[in-house]
Amino acid sequence: MMKEKVKQYLRIEKEIEALNERLKQQKKEREMIGNEIMKYCQSVSKNQISLPDGSNLKIYNNKTYQSLSYSMLERNLQHFNTKHNLNIPVKQFIDYLKLKRDSKTSMEMRYFRS
């Protein structure tokens, strides 16, 4: 019984890997086509394309931010200290933040190819 469950698990794992690879390719293709559409819209000064079903494709600027990492916090806290003539103990503060992070432990199973 357990042998069959392991086989089923591995079969599903392989299917998921194949689907993820296909999805990755589809996203890459969508990005390339999207870039072509955006270039066209920029060339004709359009920020919207009306679709036959009544929906729209809109072109807009999207602002993204760098991840809030410990190295970024440390670098900017040091800069803040300098700029405001402060002496916040950066290393200790970062260590404190690391200790105070919320964490969650859960049991998992992963398939590792040999």
Q: What is the pLDDT of residue 33?
A: 97
Q: What is the pLDDT of residue 91?
A: 93
Q: What is the pLDDT of residue 114?
A: 76
Query: Residues 31-85: pLDDT tens digits?
Result: 999 999 999 999 999 999 998 999 999 999 999 999 999 999 999 999 999 999 9
Has residue 109 got a pLDDT over 90? no
Please indicate, yes or no, whether the overall pTM of this predicted structure exceeds 0.85. Answer: no
Q: What is the pLDDT of residue 111?
A: 83
Q: Strand, helix or coil at 58? A: strand
The Cβ-side half-sphere exposure at 12, using a 13 Å CA radius, reads: 7
Query: Residues 7-46: pLDDT tens digits?
Result: 999 999 999 999 999 999 999 999 999 999 999 999 999 9
Residue 72 makes CB contacts below 8 A (sequence gap 6+) with 66
58-97: burial string, b at 16+ Cβ within 10 Å, e else: eeeeeeeeeeeeeeeeeeebeeeeeeeeeeeebeeeeeee
